Amino acid sequence: MLCVATRLFSQALKRSTSPWFHLVARAIQSRRMSRIVECVPNFSEGRNSKVIDAIAKAISETAGVSLLDVDPGASTNRTVYTFVGSPEDVVQGALNGAKIAKELIDMRKHKGEHPRLGALDVCPFIPVRGVTMEDCAACARSFGERAAKELGIAVYLYGFASEQDYRKTVPQIRAGEYEGLNKRIVMPEWKPDYGPAEFDAKWGATVAGARKFLIAYNINILGTKEQAHRIALNLRETGRGNNQPGRLKCVQGIGWWLEEANLAQLSLNLVDYEVTPMHVAFEECVKDAKELKLPVCGSQVVGLIPLDAILKAADHYIEKENLFILEEDQKIRLVIQRLGLSSVTPFDPKTRIIEYMISSADKSPLVSMTVREFIKAIGARTSAPGGGSAAAAIAAIGAALGTMVGFMSYGNKKYDNLDPLMRSLIPSLRQAMLDLTEMVDKDTNAFNDFMQARKMPKKTPEEEEKREAAMQEGLKSAVQVPMAVIQTANKAWPPLVELSKVSNPTTLSDLQVGARSLETGVWGAYYNVKINLPDIKDEQYKAEVLKQAEDAVSLAQQQCQEVLKILDQRSPK
């Protein structure tokens, strides 16, 4: 279990620290990271702000690292740090934090609600973008090797970094906790993967590994610690042991008392939220609490959470309650309310959802521009952005106008008979709008990749061969993006045709502009396909792509004319 989030304390700490704390994601601001690993070290100190501050400062000042969150818990006496960077940089960041902890944390004095083994208790590495799980396992091994050598500490590997089944999980390795480590560490089967097999009373031992994104999730119960723990035993995968498994797969859990909030918590680790989502854990807890006649009053996410986990919960409640919600921010609001995520401390999506933390400083350069800036960028004396990005943008505008017309016809008392139809038409138009928007930058990026391939050295036959292969791949990528624009735009025609038959009459001109824009976007993408095909050497590939593009243009022409004909018949004479 990760530490309990004491958000009010965290906010006060942030106000008191030096400016480094407020420069969230500064490394991402300085350059777009193509390979991002997340590191979430848990240090056994959650009360002394000077120690918490010093560790955070050491991490944040590591070159190439962005510190996203610091989450201290007084009851658990534990702080969770979340930071991202390249594989090499996050290993260095974890080491820098460990060096400070080596000086300032003394496990002989440590007491808290949370199980722990050492000053730096657990140090997981998680893939975020452009890296594999094996890359993260390599990070854990590199950290363990260097920490043992530079700090003289004992390090155990877990998760995807471990090759031994009996010591794959943190609970397996942490059994007996710090108090039992002195006897355990000298056993041959519990020899550390790195560092001395000797008990260091001041430090203890560290567990480092690679894992999927783990959600530390606490559910609030107005009952006792013992009652919360009883529910945890019912739910967690290991259950009560002795062949008495719990109900939820990939879930670890205990019950504890949160002194600062005066309530008990069921503290869960959702080790794989795709197997057991957050809303499933919450509702199963509610079920057990009801049997004990205990009220559940919201829940709490510790540290950061993937957007996908929130949207999965939103989809569950939307389906369960037959709701019609499409906007991402509204889905997040729904989940915050249904799960009571702000019951202990405020849940701010901008600072709690990892994708938002990263994207706040890593926005796509074109779609984040104002309209004026985007038009000026196209009109500048550079070849990119050009027709491909413009085509994607125009097609996105077409799909957006269709979406707008759908919404203008939905929820309107005058057209309430159309609501069921609008619920079926709007989502696909809106998704096309979102997908096409993403392609505005993809087209320019594909062109830039091709230009980079052209700049590769060609002094030797080997270099020439690599350069040619990269250029061919770049050309195919430059073709695939506008083909994706064509295919995505054409998915919007069926709902657009149906919408044109029944939509709010005041929006007919909007739909006419939308249809023409969608068709123009398809044509623009088609021309971008054609201009890149001649230099591709794979003749079969060229023929297949050209045929697909020509058929798609014909379809767009036909569908556009059908929409315009229907709208013309409906227009006032």
CB 275, CB 290: distance < 8 Å: no
Instruction: Map tokens 């934090």 to a residue.
Output: 97
**Partners of 215 in beta bridges:** 270
Instruction: Map tokens 């929130």 to a residue.
Output: 310
Exposed e or buried b per residue across 102-140, where buried means at least 16 C-beta atoms within 10 angstroms of its C-beta: bebbebeebebbbbbbbbbbbbbbbbbeebebeebbbbb
CB 370, CB 493: distance < 8 Å: no
Q: 188, exposed or middle or buried, with CB in 10 Å at 0-12, 13-18, 19+?
A: exposed
Distance CA 3, CA 45 (A): 10
Q: How many residues does the chain have?
A: 573
CB 248, CB 254: distance < 8 Å: no
Distance CA 145, CA 137 (A): 12
With residues binned 3-state (H G I as helix, E B as strand, rest as coil), the percentages for the chain, rounded to 5, are 55, 15, 30
Q: Which residues contact 290 (CB under 8 A, 6 or more apart)?
A: none
**Partners of 156 in beta bridges:** 207
CB 16, CB 55: distance < 8 Å: no
User: Which of 147, 131, 276 shows the shortest CA–CA distance to 207?
Assistant: 147
What tokens does 236 get? 């967690």
The packing angle between helices 387-408 and 508-532, to 10°, is 160
3-state secondary structure 108-135: HHCCCCCCCCECEEEEEEEEEECCCHHH
Which positions are annotated as active-site residues? 114, 443
Instruction: Map tokens 């807890």 to a residue.
Output: 285
Strand ranges (DSSP E) for 348-407? Answer: none
Q: Say if strands 120-129 and 42-43 run parallel, antiparallel, or are unpaired.
A: antiparallel
Query: CB atoms < 10 A from the CB of 72, how many?
Result: 28
**3-state SS class at 239:** coil
What tokens does 13 get? 């700490």
DSSP line for 548-569 = HHHHHHHHHHHHHHHHHHHHHH
Instruction: Map tokens 């919201």 to a residue.
Output: 298
What tokens does 386 get? 């050009």
Fill in the amino acid letter for 465: E
Query: CB atoms < 10 A from the CB of 512, how many?
Result: 18
Exposed e or buried b per residue across 442-452, where buried means at least 16 C-beta atoms within 10 angstroms of its C-beta: bbbbbbebbee
What tokens does 34 get? 């193509």
User: Which of 209, 183, 179 shows the shortest CA–CA distance to 198?
Assistant: 183
